[in-house]
Amino acid sequence: MMEFSHKSVLLNETIELLNIRPDGVYLDGTLGGGGHSFEILKRLTGTGRLIGIDQDGEAIQAAGKRLSVYGDKAMIFRKNFRDFREAMEEAGIEHLDGILLDLGVSSHQFDDAERGFSYRTDAPLDMRMDQRQEKTAADIVNGYTEHELYRVIRDYGEEPFAKNIAKHIVLTREQEPVTTTFQLVECIKRAIPAKIREKGGHPAKRTFQALRIELNEELGVLENSLNEMVDALAPRGRIAIITFHSLEDRIVKNAFRTAENPCTCPPDFPVCVCGKKSKGKVVTRKPVTASEEELLENPRARSAKLRVFEHA
């Protein structure tokens, strides 16, 4: 197992916008290597606490070691962030003063070839964020119908050649199972015209993203957790979310907008009659993005967008 390494994206901006209270209670739902959590804990005193959650066992081990200097101020749980209420209950916490989600694949997961997230190294087609889970990306590639593969690659990868890629995967697996990253990359290359492959980024990027999202149920978990997370905030508590692609960002943007203005009355109604009350305000009218300085140090921050909502 390689040493866990992850560079925290938009670190200073996130910490500043969380508006940390020294005696507050904070939740980091995507603990990773503990970079954001370390900075939160540095600012806590007295009764201040941090709940750290991650579904990746290697992240839990690395973050636990890094945050151990803060003793029982840091309470760490191996869970998916959708189960954050369980963690709160186990920690004896009723409300949170801040929540952080740093979505997507960690640098460690991407760089550890054996995890199968990268299309640049040959490895088993895995992509599990939680290795306790039995189902892998290979099960999707070899078990989904051609139409199901097309839907996943089109919807989650926003891939223009989704139909042809799905077709080539099925043709290939009829000869032998597609079980490695490079086998899949070759399927994808055969499905995309050479002229198109020469332009832009790696031809497999969108398909790998789509399979990862499908396998780990990333968008569904996010969409189903946001309202409950907003409701878990104490007055003036904030939730900060860093996304890395348009599908995640759209979900966060829409959820925050609805939390701020949930009214469902027709626009021409003179007064609201639906009775739905605002839960607070969007702090970031436009998403915060990485500075040029950060991009020089960490090019992976290029697609990162930070949005923040404050509870009333």
pLDDT of residue 26: 98
For the domain covering 11-108+219-311, report its CATH number: 3.40.50.150
- Name the 3-class secondary structure at 105: coil
Residue 200: what residue type? G
What pLDDT was estimated at residue 5? 53
CB-based contact 114:124 (threshold 8 Å): yes
Model confidence at 132, pLDDT cuts 50, 70, 90, reads very high
Q: Which is it for strands 74-78 and 280-282: parallel, antiparallel or unpaired?
A: unpaired
For the chain, how many residues are written? Answer: 312
Instruction: Locate 288 and state its tokens.
Output: 């915060």
Within 10 angstroms of residue 120's Cβ, the number of other Cβ atoms is: 15
**Which residue is associated with the tokens 């015209």?**
193
- Examine the pLDDT at 3 and tell me if it is beyond 70: no
To the nearest 10 degrees (0 to 180), the angle between helices 57-67 and 35-42 is: 30
Per-chain mean pLDDT for the chain: 95
Q: Helix (H, G, I), strand (E, B), or coil: what is residue 41?
A: helix
34 in Cβ contact with 58 (< 8 Å): no
For the cut 70, the answer to whether the pLDDT of residue 180 exceeds it is yes
Q: Which residue has the higher pLDDT, 79 or 107?
A: 79
Q: What is the pTM of this model?
A: 0.94
Q: Tell which residue, 84, 80, 69, has the closest CA to residue 37.
A: 69
Question: Quick check: 4 pLDDT over 70?
Answer: no
Beta strands in the chain (DSSP E): 25-28, 49-54, 74-78, 96-102, 233-243, 280-282, 305-311
CATH number of 123-216: 1.10.150.170
The pLDDT, as a whole number, for residue 108 is 82
What's the distance, Cα to Cα, between the start and end of the chain in Å?
A: 45
Inform me whether the pLDDT recorded for 284 exceeds 70: yes
CATH 1.10.150.170 occupies which residues in the chain?
123-216
Residue type, 94: E
Contact 99, 29 (CB under 8 A): yes
**C-alpha angle with apex 76: 75 to 77, nearest 5 degrees?**
130
Alpha-carbon gap, residue 70 to 75, rounded angstroms: 10
